[in-house]
Structure 1
Amino acid sequence: MDEPESLSIALPDGTKVSALLRVPEGARALYVFAHGAGAGMQHAGMSSLADALAAANVATLRYQFPYMERGSRRVDSPAVAHAAVQAAVAEARRRLPALPLFAGGRSYGGRMTSQAQAISPLDGVRGLAFVAFPLHPAGAPGVERARHLADVTVPLLFLQGTRDKLAELHLLRSVVETLGPRAALHLVDDADHSLHVRASSGRTDAEVVLELARTMAAWFFAEGLR
């Protein structure tokens, strides 16, 4: 399988962040894939899902947020994160303009992407896919983090574990229902916020990754034809 190409993306303030572009032969969609708060674009979970998406004919552009590029543990301000999202999406569209374009990411990365989309629609993006959307902090259930989704007009796909402590299932279902037909929810039985499943589930984490990739690819391809 093709290896990812290392890129450098310039941000409006003059700094640069690293990125990885993976374009499989026969790619039918492109996903701009942001990382979570605690681990960067080369985290095993990011890499394995990018590999599985490539096998499903989905190209990916993974990128670092500025704080992760600096090696800091403190996440960027929303404005800085949103600028990084916008720059990554613009770079993806510039490089592969013929492919249907989608954006999102794991946890924090997905939320920063949706916030950016709510403030100013990302050019060319046809939909957002969230891998473990962080609806609320652990132990503090609420839906405030989803308020901005009402201002997002493109289709939304939520991929969520049923044991996710950052998204109580009844609250998440309510959010998705409120968003109406543009939002879809795919539940991964027994998975936690890291999409890890217990041995007692009868499945492995690798099988979950394949499930995620196949679900995302089918959604991308369907939305790309609309």
Structure 2
Amino acid sequence: MRAPVTELVKIASETPTPLSAIWIKPHDARACLVLAHGAGAGMTHAFMEQVATGLAQHGVATLRFQFPYMEKGSKRPDQPAVAHAAIRDAVAEARRRCGKRPLLAGGKSFGGRMTSQAQALAPLGGVRGLVFLGFPLHPAGNPSVGRAEHLDGIRVPMLFVQGTRDKLAEPELLAPVVRGLGKHATLHPIADADHAFHVPARTGRRDSDVISEICGAVAGWIDREID
């Protein structure tokens, strides 16, 4: 099997500093995913790298990028409007690279939530589906569904990949939310995984097993739901 092409990219942005990104494209790419990082770790975090590498094995290209705050070395996430603008810039870059392949967007936790907000406000150009890896439905210890209200305005398919021990999305709250979104939404639970997709040693599973499940779930959903 030929190794995927990996390229460091600078994305033109409305912010003073271009956004850093990593483009991974397998030679047989059949879809492209813009993958935004979580609030506490950037695009080079092991989870992001492992997901991107795993998706490449399924023929899915990825564009990972840094939000402006992470680019500046800050620990405070950007305001939504700034994050939304960065996502739109990344989507435009990925669209240019993807050609006629289906384009998707989403990300880990904060990155997925910001992507969904951007899509609800004004559809992301060319994006045909959203992928959420650990959607942060509510703050830890404060169960609620208010963060899901904007999802009703999204008209493209959505995939929620969620650990069953995720303290930022209690299963008994998330499952009804996804059902309420109708045929556009799919929930793939990862048994025993927390918000970081770690599983207890007693399960006999390793983090690499979880990553494989995540990537298989995303690739399978693309085959089923994205024309």
Q: Structure 2-normalised TM-score?
A: 0.97
SS state at 1:187 partner: strand
The offset of 1:4, in angstroms, is: 1.8
1:185-223 Cα shifts (integer Å, max 9, x gaps): 000000000000111112111011001001101111223
1:91-125 Cα shifts (integer Å, max 9, x gaps): 10011122100000000000000000000000111
Residue equivalent to 1:191: 193
Runs of at least 5 residues in structure 2 that lack an aligned partner in the other structure: none
Residue equivalent to 2:217: 215
Where do 1:1-226 residues align within 5 Å? 1-225=3-227
Contact 1:32–1:89 under 8 Å retained in 2: yes
Deviates more, 1:166-175 or 1:5-14: 5-14
Contact 1:53–1:59 under 8 Å retained in 2: yes
1:127-155 Cα shifts (integer Å, max 9, x gaps): 00100000000000000111110111101
1:163-201 Cα shifts (integer Å, max 9, x gaps): 000000010011101111110000000000000011111
Contact 1:28–1:221 under 8 Å retained in 2: no
SS state at 2:181 partner: helix
Runs of 4+ in structure 1 deviating by more than 6 angstroms, as ranges, are none
Contact 2:51–2:211 under 8 Å retained in 1: yes
Distance 1:179 1:14 in 2: 38
Distance 1:188 1:13 in 2: 37
Distance 2:79 2:207 in 1: 32
Q: Structure 1-normalised TM-score?
A: 0.97
SS state at 1:4 partner: strand
Distance 1:89 1:195 in 2: 26
Distance 2:209 2:69 in 1: 32
Contact 1:102–1:220 under 8 Å retained in 2: no
Distance 1:84 1:25 in 2: 27
The offset of 1:3, in angstroms, is: 4.6
The offset of 1:14, in angstroms, is: 4.0
Letter in 2 for 1:78: P
Deviates more, 1:13-22 or 1:111-120: 13-22
Distance 1:24 1:222 in 2: 20
Distance 2:44 2:17 in 1: 20
SS state at 1:140 partner: coil
Runs of at least 5 residues in structure 1 that lack an aligned partner in the other structure: none
Contact 2:21–2:63 under 8 Å retained in 1: yes
SS state at 1:22 partner: strand
